[in-house]
Amino acid sequence: MNKILTIITGLIIMLTLSVGAQVKGKPGDYVKGELIVQVLETASIRDIVSRAPDNYSLQVEKILSPTSHIWQLTFDHTLIYS
């Protein structure tokens, strides 16, 4: 039950933040080449990063919240087309 509540809470937060970003977002509201991700407690961030294509240069920068399993990743933003 606790896992379901955690998942539902996470989804609500993600949906709220994504809607807000779409409505209020403007150029410069992000950092090129950086990504913040939250993974499940049982997931390995290193395994996830290792599955990305090599040319993306996806790397773990640091853990932002050990208890919430939130990580900051970096990647080569020049490979993304606008």
Q: How far apart are CA 24 and CA 1, in angstroms?
A: 34
Could you read off the pLDDT of 41-57 as tens digits, one per residue? 898 999 989 998 888 88
Mean pLDDT, all residues of the chain: 81
Domain boundary assignment for the chain: 1-29, 31-82
Tell me what pLDDT residue 82 has: 53
Tell me what pLDDT residue 21 has: 47
The more confident residue out of 79 and 73 is 73
Could you read off the pLDDT of 6-26 as tens digits, one per residue? 877 777 777 666 554 445 556
Contacts for 36 with CB less than 8 Å, ≥ 6 apart: 64, 70, 71, 72, 73
pLDDT band at 68 (very low <50, low <70, confident <90, very high): very high
C-beta atoms surrounding 71 within 10 Å:
20
User: Are 59 and 44 spatial neighbours (Cβ–Cβ below 8 Å)?
Assistant: no
Q: What three-state secondary structure class fits 71? A: strand
C-beta atoms surrounding 37 within 10 Å:
15
**Residue 55 token pair:** 């040319």
